[in-house]
Structure 1
Amino acid sequence: MDASVWGCVMQAVATTTLAILRGTTTDGYGDEQDTNTPIATGIPASLIEQSRRVTTRDDPTPRIVRYAVARVPARTDVTDQDRIRDERTGAVYIVDAVSGMTNPAIQVDRRLDLRRTT
């Protein structure tokens, strides 16, 4: 389904469009594999990749951790473990978490915590 059908309105400024990929199949050995079947395309999104220096008490050596966050329109059908493809760059991410703030006056953007797979 094309995002233009939904009349998407976002509070965040869109930097790209996304395709949501969902579904699995079984290969010849009986192993489950993700499919690249898009359930929606052309979804406007604000996608930001960032890095952070982290240390732990057990290992004080600093490490650089990269992560990505996307914001999509409130009614976007996306769930944990879906995959999304950045239609501008072709990068694929797995959705680790979907969240959104509650607002009684307006529907707010959904926040997607992402992990890059390609």
Structure 2
Amino acid sequence: GLGPLPRGCVMQAIATTRVSIIRGTTTDAYGDEQDTDTPVCTGVPASLTEQSRRVTSRDDPTPRIVRYAVARVPAGTDVTDQDRLLDERTGATYIVDATSSMANPASVPDIRLDLRRTT
């Protein structure tokens, strides 16, 4: 198991790992924007799955494999688009492309994160 959850942290999906949410940028000596590794929160329980699908386009009928990941984190987690997610178990890093949650009057829903793997 992953041990006890932080107080107030209730998740509907089954956690498969813990993640750190990383945010922030800085400007380097050349004026280029660089990511900083400033954690917003760490040890967040998450259900993380990587998937792939075959895609084709009208311009290029050759199928190619696109890999993507989906994570679910507890409601109320401080995470926004363009944050980065570090899988504390595997060391993989993902960019958060989108966040969403389903409206459910009976309970507080998990936040769904659409991710793109960077490492």
Gaps of 5+ in 2: none
> C-alpha displacement at 1:105, in angstroms?
1.8
Runs ≥4 residues deviating over 4 A: none
- The more displaced of 72-81 and 26-35 is 26-35
Aligned partner letter, 1:86: D
Aligned partner letter, 2:24: G
Aligned partner letter, 1:108: P
Q: Could you tell me the TM-score, scaled by structure 1's length?
A: 0.93
**In structure 1, C-alpha distance between the alignment counterparts of 2:29 and 2:55, rounded to whole Å:** 42
Counterpart residue number, 1:26: 27
SS at 1:98 equivalent: strand
**In structure 2, C-alpha distance between the alignment counterparts of 1:26 and 1:57, rounded to whole Å:** 39
Provide the aligned length of Structure 1 versus Structure 2.
115
Counterpart residue number, 1:75: 76
SS at 1:13 equivalent: coil
Q: Tell me, yes or no, if structure 1 residue 109 matches structure 2 residue 110.
A: yes
> C-alpha displacement at 1:58, in angstroms?
2.6
Aligned partner letter, 2:103: T
Give the root-mean-square deviation of aligned CA atoms: 1.1
**In structure 2, C-alpha distance between the alignment counterparts of 1:42 and 1:74, rounded to whole Å:** 15
**In structure 2, C-alpha distance between the alignment counterparts of 1:15 and 1:110, rounded to whole Å:** 15
**In structure 2, C-alpha distance between the alignment counterparts of 1:59 and 1:94, rounded to whole Å:** 26
> C-alpha displacement at 1:50, in angstroms?
0.6
> C-alpha displacement at 1:56, in angstroms?
1.9
- Please show how residues 1-118 of structure 1 align to structure 2 within 5 Å: 4=6, 6-118=7-119
SS at 1:37 equivalent: strand
**In structure 2, C-alpha distance between the alignment counterparts of 1:52 and 1:101, rounded to whole Å:** 24
